[in-house]
Structure 1
């Protein structure tokens, strides 16, 4: 009996040492990743931090995820604060009689990813429209059009705006993964980074040609496009109920403006907007005056910067001024 007992105990000891070694190695890797990304400039990690620090699962499955009211964090090198309504930006004045209310709805572009608050489209529009207008944004990162509209509909009755600006991007008809991130993804930067690298590798879209073809499929007739159109129908019904104006601006795919190959997106969004009686705006021609890279928020991040938003603000302002 004893001859069997001691080898078994030795095996358990060895297994425990191996497990302890793996845990220590994992902790060391996690620590190294956190130190290496402490400058808040790694796009993948900053998006992970945004999802874990400023967002939560929404009680409305049509919305999916939402901002945490009152939360704040430093992301991509800038401070981001969420007000009590779950919007990025200062607390809005909803009570002053006669004050015009303008709302931007969209994804991370409407939220102003990577920019200080004063440089976002919301803030630039607010500065242009003056004290007589309250400009808000319901933009939340990683939303498709279905989620964007569902998120806005929760605010519509309380805000009663004069105008809603739909800031659409290339991923408007993309189908969203309904799965919830696992514990490791939510708590480990190293594991989240590994998962992101694997997903990028598996996507396997080679260069510009692959990007164009991938978006062409997304914007073709199919479940994604049907979901986007249904969301726009819901927005039209809400507009008729509350009487606000709807303006639609499609943010051009940002990688190359000089030889732009995404006109099919523009044509589709223009068609869907105009058939619902909405003003459609395309800033591409104005943005083509300079290289696409000059409008990026960072060298490795193609979100619009303050310069791009100045162009969009100047296009929007005449349609929002009294």
Structure 2
């Protein structure tokens, strides 16, 4: 029995040492901050916390900061990415961009994000903010915005909708191993992708067709938009909906069904719908990627989106 216990202890010790060595190798191999999956894991670990509202799931940690994908990301005291907003100056126009990691400006320095580019164009008479948080569906996006609505009382809310808006996802707390081990989180991500994704462009189209079909995801998206409509009526702000194109490929573009659905849902609620695809598709989709392996919009893409938004605002004073 003693020999058996001793052998089991040695095996356990060997496994623990092997796991520690694997964790160390993964951390060294990804220290350049170029691995998208690991950087998203670090984002969730360093800048996010569990929200008290189950509909939100996760939110930014006020005052937190970290270097992610080689870019400094700072969260202000309100839990938003970006500088501290001026909410007290009388007569200052207030605009809020709500959405997911695209609205947050994943992979970009702060001054290249949509929020920053729009703020520069509008000038000091306007305050532009974003409540964007990575990995949120429309239910979470709207719920997250509503906790700010009474405090900010904006003139305009810009909804940055993406193809993942109706995604049904677990908003519970990740397990201890996922939260503390890069290696384990990486393995879990690879397994989930292998099980859920069909290969190639055809598989991507099929996955989004299923996601946007009538079902719980679409129903949740519509309920979230209805909640936003109720809040709009309460506070009197304007809503603009901009559809961010699925950017793996523009030629041919096979996701018009998403654009058509969001356009119909927006117009049904009396909201202006903005589609930057006609301007974006003049160049290859990959020219707008933030990195070779990351299709999040880069500064050039946000410049195009800013130009699409400009006609909806008075021309800034020179």
TM-score normalised per structure 2: 0.98
- Cα separation, 2, equivalents of 1:182 and 1:234: 31
SS of 1:60's partner is: coil
Q: Does 1:266 align with 2:259?
A: yes
SS of 2:129's partner is: strand
Aligned to 2:85: 92
Q: Does 1:237 align with 2:264?
A: no
**Alignment partner of 2:170 out of 167, 177, 188:** 177
How far apart are residue 14 of structure 1 and its match? Answer: 1.4
Aligned to 2:216: 223
Aligned to 1:4: none
Aligned to 1:33: 26
SS of 1:46's partner is: helix
SS of 2:158's partner is: strand
Q: Does 1:83 align with 2:76?
A: yes
- Cα separation, 2, equivalents of 1:317 and 1:86: 27
How far apart are residue 180 of structure 1 and its match? Answer: 2.4
Aligned to 1:5: none
The 5-angstrom pairing of residues 51-70 of structure 1 reads 51-70=44-63
How far apart are residue 178 of structure 1 and its match? Answer: 3.2
**Alignment partner of 1:306 out of 296, 299, 307:** 299
Q: Does 1:247 align with 2:240?
A: yes
How far apart are residue 321 of structure 1 and its match? Answer: 2.5
Aligned to 2:126: 133
- Cα separation, 2, equivalents of 1:43 and 1:232: 30
Aligned to 2:182: 189
Q: Is the 8 A contact 2:197 2:207 kept in 1?
A: no
- Cα separation, 2, equivalents of 1:201 and 1:174: 18
- Cα separation, 1, equivalents of 2:170 and 2:202: 24
Deviation per CA, 1:89-136, whole angstroms, max 9, x where unpaired?
Answer: 000000111111000000000000000000000000000000000000
How far apart are residue 9 of structure 1 and its match? Answer: 1.4
SS of 2:222's partner is: helix
Q: Is the 8 A contact 2:197 2:204 kept in 1?
A: no
How far apart are residue 11 of structure 1 and its match? Answer: 1.5
How far apart are residue 254 of structure 1 and its match? Answer: 0.5
Aligned to 2:5: 12
- Cα separation, 2, equivalents of 1:132 and 1:124: 14
Instruction: Give aligned pairs, total.
Output: 315
How far apart are residue 221 of structure 1 and its match? Answer: 1.1
Q: Is the 8 A contact 2:99 2:136 kept in 1?
A: yes
- Cα separation, 2, equivalents of 1:271 and 1:207: 29
Gaps in structure 1 of 5+ consecutive residues: 1-7
Q: Which moved more, 1:20-29 or 1:106-115?
A: 20-29
- Cα separation, 2, equivalents of 1:255 and 1:165: 24
Q: Which runs of 4+ in 1 moved over 4 A?
A: none
Alignment RMSD (CA, Å): 0.8
- Cα separation, 2, equivalents of 1:178 and 1:36: 30
- Cα separation, 2, equivalents of 1:122 and 1:215: 27
